[in-house]
Amino acid sequence: MSGAAENGGTAGGDGTGARTGAAGGRARTAIVTGGASGIGRAVCRELSRRGVHVVAADLDEAGAERTAKEFGCASAGLDVTDARAVRELVERVRRERGRLDFVFNNAGIAVGGTADELTLDHWDRTIDVNLRGVVHGVHAAYPIMLEQGHGHIVNTASLAGLTPAPLMLPYTATKHAVVGLSLALRAEARAHGVRVSVVCPGFTDTPLLDHANPGLPQTATGSGARESATRTMGRLYSVDALAADIMRGVARNRALIVAPASGRLAWRGVRLSPSAAVRVAALAVRRLRG
């Protein structure tokens, strides 16, 4: 871990409601995976602004350091697929800070393609990062939060975790799993004072859309992810607006943080009629494939 600049403590009282707490008079402490880029980076910024001591953790260690330098937090190189590394980081932060208030299991990859062209490598890699990465974070942090009697786990899923999102089956499957994991854990954790939320954003303007299928065979859908997302959404959601939604949702201890409004509408459509939602998704496939 590097760049451990400490944040002063008292917070503005908005967003996460973060304030200097009782534990050794230290500022609340958060780990944000995927903190080098996009949504994770914006979450690091917002938490830092609120006086939370943040550790930006990422496979892209240099990127995490840049986040740390920019927003006055700490950074760590971390591969979330490595269970032991995740546990070591979580335990180290708790030991050094004396508390662990938030863990944002946010790191993820985009994987796209038609069902017939995606290989088992696409599936395995997506499951490793998007699902196991979250499992590792939960498995390491939850016992610590139970022992503390408080803490908030915030997992990033996707609107694809609530809807039948086609042309990215492994992604959709892992994000549905993260939603299920998070809601079920929330039910277990409630009696112990531990909070669990899950973030389900629609297409958001981050670098994720420019490097789909990282280290994997490329597909037409993967290489055109930004264009497809823009055609589907009309306009991509801004990462700053999403970070504000996340801060508000976390402060209010929402089970699900779904944004933007068009995403909430799509989710409502799925609940009203799953088969109609599949028909709409099939139309979108036809439109995207020309």
Ligand X SMILES: NC(=O)c1ccc[n+]([C@@H]2O[C@H](COP(=O)([O-])OP(=O)(O)OC[C@H]3O[C@@H](n4cnc5c(N)ncnc54)[C@H](O)[C@@H]3O)[C@@H](O)[C@H]2O)c1
Out of 47, 80, 131, 154, name the contact with ligand X by CB under 6 A.
80
* Residue 43 beta carbon to ligand X: minimum distance, rounded to whole angstroms: 9
Out of 75, 204, 219, 221, name the contact with ligand X by CB under 6 A.
204
Distance between CA atoms of residues 274 and 258, nearest Å: 18
> Residue 252: CB partners within 8 Å, gap ≥ 6?
none
Span near ligand X by CB under 6 A; candidates 32-40, 91-99, 248-256, 270-278: 32-40
Whose Cβ is closer to ligand X: residue 61's or residue 117's?
Answer: 61
Q: Which of positions 228-267 make contact with ligand X (CB under 6 A)? A: none
Whose Cβ is closer to ligand X: residue 33's or residue 48's?
Answer: 33
* Residue 204 beta carbon to ligand X: minimum distance, rounded to whole angstroms: 4
The distance from CA 97 to its chain's CA centroid, rounded to whole angstroms, is: 23
Residues 73 and 44: beta-carbon distance below 8 Å? yes
- CA 29-142-86 angle, to 5 degrees, is 70
Residues 209 and 229: beta-carbon distance below 8 Å? yes
**148 — alpha (psi -120 to 50), left (phi > 0) or beta?**
alpha
Out of 7, 11, 34, 257, name the contact with ligand X by CB under 6 A.
34
Span near ligand X by CB under 6 A; candidates 17-25, 92-100, 205-213, 247-255: 205-213
Give yes or no: 171 in active site: yes
Out of 18, 30, 32, 39, name the contact with ligand X by CB under 6 A.
39
Q: Which two tokens stand for residue 93?
A: 């932060």
Whose Cβ is closer to ligand X: residue 20's or residue 106's?
Answer: 106
Strand runs (DSSP E) across 210-273, as ranges? 256-259
Residues 161 and 282: beta-carbon distance below 8 Å? no
- CA 87-92-98 angle, to 5 degrees, is 125
Residue 206 sits in the site that holds ligand X (CB under 6 A): yes
Active-site residue among 171, 203, 237, 267?
A: 171
Out of 203, 212, 213, 259, name the contact with ligand X by CB under 6 A.
203
> Residue 248: CB partners within 8 Å, gap ≥ 6?
15
Q: Angle formed by the axes of helices 61-71 and 38-49, to 10°?
A: 30
Q: Which two tokens stand for residue 89?
A: 């980081």
Q: Which two tokens stand for residue 244?
A: 């504000």
- Write each residue from 58 to 77 as x if it is in contact with ligand X (CB under 6 A), else as -, in one continuous string: xxx--x--------------
Residue 46 sits in the site that holds ligand X (CB under 6 A): no
Q: Which of positions 128-167 make contact with ligand X (CB under 6 A)? A: 129, 133, 156, 158
Out of 36, 73, 258, 259, name the contact with ligand X by CB under 6 A.
36
Residues with catalytic function: 171
Site residues (vs ligand X, CB under 6 A): 33-34, 36-40, 58-60, 63, 78-81, 106-109, 129, 133, 156, 158, 201, 203-204, 206-209
